[in-house]
Structure 1
């Protein structure tokens, strides 16, 4: 380590990962023991309700290479990562991965090769997803949508699993937006980036911590934070509805004055009410998504609250004896 600082931090957010913790730390330790790099691990407990935080504390007191950041409650995956990024001390880069072992820590040195070639962001690209068909379809649809509507390129099928240089981490730490979509923020920063294909493994144990609600919230953050499409969609929809209304009005006038036929019943009226009502509600909903983000941002609350940080100080070296030239005795 350089002045006590590692070259690489491995950053891992944890939420109710008691079942996988022992295997996770075993593999992380093996990576550190077998690597020529100086590495430390930053684990972030995101308000776990099982014994995850206790296991983290125990590991940190056993091995000084493991640092535990305990949050005061569950803030969510993206903010847990943000909390970890705020506590990194690596001189070169941060290796971000999930704690369920779907992201193999053994890929670190393969990613590090690209870092030494001048890349600032080395992100993993999933070759094939292991989820059920409906979830795979939803993920693919979201990334295709983001590719179409985003004002800059966000790589397809890339998650948070990545090796990120120190200067990119510093830029991420300067970005204080409340509704975070880190893979989008990472892409927005720029610099030289490359995707590395990998086979994503099955979860070692347990189930996914990302519920449908949380996945939807993450998708909304990506769409509304990195695209102008929603707000422009309202204007385009308004123009389309006006055109439809004018066409319907013209058709009605032609029937009345040319053919002498007046449309009967409430079909036209119901159509108009439903059309305009739906457009208005959709427009209000889209505006509401922007307003709620502004509302939470202007409160200027901290993004997360750290309850405690657990680390074992490295053993101090014994001072070397100094020879007393006057009497020839060694003194400390």
Structure 2
């Protein structure tokens, strides 16, 4: 009897949890009868009534729901890793607590898993959302596909179904400041992607702020691409060649006695441009250095305050 562990990161989802719980339980009827279910609900340091709603869900289904209460907010990706560590299923799925992704798609994902695929991706073919949210998402994933991971599906994704082997690899790596979904693709397992239309959020307010989006963009580029460093090198070479040709030009003018005293404005423009380039270059290099320092500290990705529900089974995960 295969067990499916569904990991749900939760942050300020007090209004969503009752609806999410109902839809997840109702979705079980679409699966073959031999499938057992486990729900690992991770409270990512919410300061509203999210934890209380999760505990009500756990109390209603004590045989299949585990609530992992984190000590503080560590971000959705780290919360997902925490949920994966406490999941015991043969296969796992990650879905958001706001139910913008259709849980019924997991049935088709499960069929692919039964055929031997280790990773199944639900990629957003389109969104019911409009405006800056849709524009940012499309631009972000198009950029990552071009400069980092050309084999990721179009439209982006954060709804995945995967084998325990993939989970154990992610837990073994425990990479910091990264994108866990891109990391799954980076592992190299063949995958199939299932396109769907992402629903518009109906309840609650998204906590996916602009600051978090920018951090994810920087983390994803730094973790999977050397493009920023290469761009610095290329631009540095171009500036060096420009300086060389300009120096030759000035030397020729000096030789023929045609050089003028004027040029302070042009000189200042060049100096400001070069100084700006140097500061940007130092900033990019500093991002890489900081990430290396952060990794060497080996601080935990998260701190678990308490686990409500069944105790975790031993998984013999590598250190």
* TM-score scaled by length of structure 2: 0.91
**After superposition, where does 1:205-284 map in structure 2 within 5 Å?**
205-258=203-256, 260-262=258-260, 264-284=262-282
Per-residue CA distance 1:123-157 (angstroms, 9 max, x = gap): 11112123333332222222222122216633332
> 1:107 corresponds to which residue?
105
- CA shift, 1:109, in A, is 0.7
Equivalent pair of 2:7/2:92 in contact (CA under 8 Å): yes
| Deviation readout 1:154-206 (Å, 9 max, x if unpaired) | 33323220111111111111112221211111011111201100111111212
Instruction: Tell me how far apart the structure 2 counterparts of residues 267 and 125 of structure 1 sit (CA, whole Å).
Output: 52
Pick which of 133-142 and 209-218 moved more.
133-142
Partner of 1:14: 10
SS of match in other structure, 2:96: coil
For 1:24-35, what aligned pairs fall within 5 Å after superposition? 24-35=20-31
Q: How has the CA–CA distance of structure 1 residues 151 and 257 changed in structure 2, closer, same or farther, with 3 Å as cutoff? A: farther
Alignment of 1:78-93 (within 5 A): 78-91=77-90, 93=91
Cα deviation, residue 251, structure 1: 2.9
Deviations 1:57-85 (A, max 9, x none): 12212212111111001111110001001
Contact 1:47 / 1:70 at 8 angstroms: preserved in 2?
yes
Q: How does 1:23-102 map to 2 (within 5 A)?
A: 23-36=19-32, 37-63=35-61, 64-91=63-90, 93-102=91-100
Q: Is the 8 A contact 1:67 1:310 kept in 2?
A: yes
The answer to whether the 8 A contact 1:151-1:228 is kept is: no
TM-score by length of 1: 0.88
Tell me if 1:163 matches 2:154. Answer: no
Q: Distance in 2 between matches of 1:292 and 1:130?
A: 38
Gaps in structure 2 of 5+ consecutive residues: 312-319
Distance in 1 between residues matched to 2:184 and 2:109, nearest whole Å: 16
Aligned to 1:116: 114
Q: Tell me the distance in 2 between the aligned counterparts of 1:287 and 1:158.
A: 27
| Paired position in structure 2 for 1:320 | none
Q: Deviations over 1:2-58 (max 9, x none)?
A: 5xxx52011100011111111111111111245322112110000111111011112
C-alpha distance in 2 between matches for 1:134 and 1:70: 33
Preserved contact between residue 62 and residue 312 of structure 1 (Cα < 8 Å): no
Which entry has the higher C-alpha Rg, 1 or 2? 1
Judge conservation of contact 2:110–2:161 (CA < 8 Å) in 1.
yes
Matched positions, count: 308
Bigger drift between 181-190 and 137-146 goes to 137-146
| Cα displacement string for residues 63-114 of structure 1 (whole angstroms, at most 9, x for unaligned residues) | 12111111001111110001001111002x1111000010111111111121
| 1:189 corresponds to 2:187 | yes
Residues in 1 aligned to 2:194 and 2:261: alpha-carbon distance in whole angstroms: 63
Unaligned runs of 5+ in 1: 314-332
- CA apart distance, 1:247: 2.4
SS of residue matched to 2:6: strand
CA contact (8 A) 1:123 1:158 kept: no
**Over the residues paired in the alignment, what is the CA RMSD in angstroms?**
1.8
Alpha-carbon distance between aligned partners in 2 of 1:34 and 1:161, rounded to the nearest angstrom: 18
